[in-house]
Structure 1
């Protein structure tokens, strides 16, 4: 698919069919957030104040991790301005929602709203985009990583989902820090370190064992849930010259009850078309996308999307394909030959001709020397 359109082109065609209330903040989403905050406080107090059996602590940790992730999804929605419009209240509520994930609202809006959404799947400008062969060739670290056999690397990549959101947030702090005005840098640092200070303060109060169940294990669970979504959002899609959400984004399907608990975070293509719209209305947006552009829209069950990620590499070859550099195996992307039900690769042939030419040159030179 080479005829790309910017997200505004699609939005302009769908918007007239949507009710006016779809473009208004939905404050009722805060009731869900309040419920999760209550679960988090109750769970942390239960682990911290009582000497529970490890099995009970483990179960509470899973609930806490699920709640951490859900609050992150709500924080994402809040900081897009779809819950409240008042800037200071938006940032305050967003900071509270992202507190367990230790990400500040100013950094998030710079990283996610102003960079990722504006330059989705642009190799240089999207901070979440994966590298191309050209970028790989310029990085010694990446070149070394991609010498590791693919099965080992894929296993490590999936196990790293449990820490990837946290590590990427820290990386984004360093990446964008210089872009903030000097007067805002102190605020960015304060918003970043204050959540960590509270969680480390909890460690000092309750000790390592209780802290593990009250925060560390829930954080790992939350990272895994959040990154399971984020990993499927764009990583099977091509790099694109135009920010076309139907080309560069994937919506996954999950059970309805999961969508309710996760604030419809699975509707990712819809979100990139209408980032300032509450996710409450994304099922309606999906209906019109599938009616108008059924051949362009990408969706699949989350399990299938994760399996496709497991079976494909994460380096781009000529923008619209994925390549395993060590073996030269080339895979399609969504809209460019990738069939998640039957993932196959082709061999990269481009290097064979030059090598043959070199071999013939060496043979000719050797023959010439033999005649002297």
Structure 2
């Protein structure tokens, strides 16, 4: 899987851009001595947030179990509960995301239980998450071998690439496609990577942006975890008597809201950035300015560049990292209002023509990445 050949001049430009990159290790070497040691100690509070939000979901399902006694014209009263449950799904992902980077739980049995409970509503096996996110994505962020990057224009037009083209925010996506995609893109991401490693486990699988492999032990662990996740979801639906109305309001709608909210953040993390041959988090990642309430609710997930610099850090200290970046690297650090980032995503294509250029499915329209680095 390689990019199209470049001309000599283009190769020189690409080399100069690569030379302009700074490695993750170099940033850490400069910034880590400026941060307190307590920023890197385990934070058990996130476990309680996870437990509280699991309890909120259970309470929502308990209330929904009585919906067959409601008059149909009162069903709309459940919508605020659906919204709260949807936010709980987001919190489960982000709290588990932090915990699995080592910022909270390090006891193996407790770690496995918490990570499974936290990711079960996302249909994400914890073993798969550790492989695709912690290992592959963080080590190879927005490079050609990052499974979370945009597809390349010269990759085969597979079903995975077609789904991204139709449902991910871009200048070509339809309003209907975007709405559908917001609620289902997380599931597609999970299914795509899970089937790639469980069914094939080869680096030539072409329907993922970048295929990776895992060990035999990890493959069987993923299968076991998927089976347990299915049991959890069947149990939830059974507790709701498989009633379509109950399932719509208290199961499907919260999951759609939760997945859409998570994807709103995730789309902005790297998909608007150029690809980088060297893992330079200030170039290949974006941090957002969002209303403070969302940082409180979602563990400072908007501080995404800061997270990629120090993934094991207690997220409460990300604002401190941001202050250091604004002081030491103001010209490199992408800190943008969330509305501006979303607008840029809807104004640009989503396939990489090269590491600095986006292009459409047909290749007829190309644009330089708005966050490109100057050679």
When normalised by structure 2's length, the TM-score is 0.83
Q: 1:32 aligns with which of 49, 59, 72?
A: 49
Matched with 1:78 is 99
- How far residue 327 of structure 1 moved from its aligned partner, in angstroms, is 6.6
In 1: Cα distance, 2:179 partner to 2:276 partner: 25
Q: Which is worse superposed, 40-49 or 262-271?
A: 40-49
Compared with structure 1, are the counterparts of its residues 139 and 215 closer, same or farther at alpha carbon in structure 2 (3 Å cutoff)?
A: same
Distance 1:151 1:95 in 2: 37
Q: Give the conservation status (yes or no) of the 8 Å contact 1:132–1:319.
A: no
Q: Distance in 1 between matches of 2:85 and 2:103?
A: 25
| CA deviation string 1:210-249 (max 9, x = no partner) | 1121211111001110000000000110011111101100
Q: Which moved more, 1:324-333 or 1:312-321?
A: 324-333
State the TM-score, normalized to the length of structure 1.
Answer: 0.84
| Residues 298 and 334, structure 1, Cα contact 8 Å, conserved in 2 | no
Per-residue CA shift, 1:166-216, capped at 9, x if unaligned? 121111111223334334433211212322322223323422221121211
**Once the two structures are superposed, what CA deviation does each residue of 1:145-167 show, in whole Å capped at 9, x if it has no partner?**
7998x766343145301111112
5 Å-filtered alignment, 1:180-191, equals: 180-191=214-225
Between the aligned partners of 2:164 and 2:312, the Cα distance in structure 1 is 38
Which residue number in structure 1 is paired with residue 187 of structure 2? 166
Q: Secondary structure at the match of 2:154?
A: helix
Where does residue 157 of structure 2 map in the other structure?
A: 139
Q: Distance in 1 between matches of 2:165 and 2:258?
A: 30
- The structure that has the greater radius of gyration is 1
CA apart distance, 1:67: 0.6
In the TM superposition, residue 307 of structure 1 has moved relative to its aligned partner by 1.7
Within 1, Cα distance between the matches of 2:171 and 2:289? 26
Q: Which residue of 2 aligns with 1:250?
A: 286
Match of 2:249 in 1: 213
Give me the whole-angstrom Cα distance separating, in 2, the residues matched to 1:335 and 1:305.
10
CA RMSD across the alignment: 2.3
- Corresponding residue number in structure 1 for 2:229: 195
Give the superposition deviation at 1:103.
1.0
Structure-2 residue corresponding to 1:358: none
Distance in 2 (CA, whole Å) between partners of 1:261 and 1:147 is 31
Match of residue 276 from structure 1: 312
C-alpha separation in 2, matches of 1:199 and 1:147? 30
The unaligned stretches of length 5 or more in structure 2 are 1-16, 202-212
Question: For residues 1-372 of structure 1, what are the structure 2 equivalents within 5 Å?
Answer: 2=18, 3-50=20-67, 51-52=69-70, 53-123=74-144, 125-135=145-155, 138-139=156-157, 153-155=173-175, 156-177=177-198, 178=201, 179-205=213-239, 206=241, 207-326=243-362, 328-336=364-372
- 1:41/1:162 Cα in 2 relative to 1: closer, same or farther (>3 Å)? same
Given that 1:6 and 1:244 are in contact with CA atoms closer than 8 Å, whether structure 2 keeps it comes out as yes
Aligned length: 334
Greater RCO (CA < 8 Å, at least 6 residues apart): 2
